[in-house]
Amino acid sequence: MFEDRPDRDEVVLVGRSNVGKSTLMRELTGHSVSTGRKPGVTRQPNHFDWASESFMFTDLPGFGFMSGVPEEQRERIKTDVVQYVERNADDVLAGVLVVDGKSVIDIIDRHSDAGEVPHDVELFHFLQELDIPTVVAVNKMDKVDDRDERLDDLCDRLGILPPWQQWRDTIAPICAKRGDVSALTDALGTHFHDQKRDDLLKFL
């Protein structure tokens, strides 16, 4: 269970291991975040806060398959992430679901075949059910050739109607490693504005 959460509004980053959440966090905050070649490096929430604004970005631990991490531990991490978001939903200004643009469709389809709801789809709907404005940050887009087709397919898997361009507040193609995150910051800016938190736009 994650304890010691600072009492303030936040944007949470959620997603599988190794999709680039910590790299994205570094882009958004300007803070160096420990990233590792091994999945599962982030085991506790990483909070980056601005005390004067009562606001923070939170990078939650990655979930899903992690090489060398027992299944029982993986499930516990996922449960902790879900409970954290559920418990603090009233203070979450936006949820950012980070996915790997190159592999997300294959991963979703592979798990759909097994008759289960894939983690990414499940988490997307979970955030929406909690009335948390949700942005899917589709990372590593520099490695994707058929960009529009891939993003339309992702909309289709998430249960929203393509074309993706009509969902710019929900679907944000980015490349965190190259510092190209404007689609995400634009979407977050819209959600901040809608919640009358224009005071936070300077952080984007």
Sorted by where each begins, the domain ranges of the chain are 9-203
Quickly tell me which residue has 């600072």 as its tokens.
6
Residues 139-179: tens digit of each pLDDT: 999 999 999 999 999 999 999 999 999 999 999 999 999 99
Full DSSP string of 35-52: --SSTT---S-EEEEEGG
Supply the pLDDT for residue 1: 60
93 vs 134: CA distance, rounded Å: 9
Nearest to 193 by CA among 138, 50, 202, 14: 202
pLDDT attached to residue 195:
96
Q: Does domain 9-203 have CATH number 3.40.50.300?
A: yes
What does the alpha-carbon distance between residue 32 and residue 84 come to, in Å, rounded to a whole number? Answer: 23
Nearest Cα to Cα of residue 118 among 11, 1, 15: 15
Q: Which helix (H) or strand (E) holds 182?
A: helix 182-194
Whether cis (ω within 30° of 0) applies to the bond prior to 39 is no
Please give the DSSP secondary-structure letter assigned to residue 165: G
Contacts of 121 (CB under 8 A, 6+ apart): 108, 157, 158, 159
Query: How high is the pLDDT of residue 181?
Result: 98
- Burial level of 151, CB count in 10 A (0-12/13-18/19+)? buried
Q: What are phi and psi of 9, to 5 degrees?
A: -65, 155
Backbone angles phi, psi at 152, to 5 degrees: -65, -40
DSSP, res 172:
E
Q: What are the φ/ψ torsions at residue 38 (nearest 5 degrees)? A: -85, 135
| Ranges under pLDDT 50 in the chain | 37, 39
* Cα–Cα distance measured from residue 31 to residue 142, given in angstroms and rounded to the nearest whole number: 23
pLDDT digits over 70-88, tens only? 888 888 888 999 999 999 9
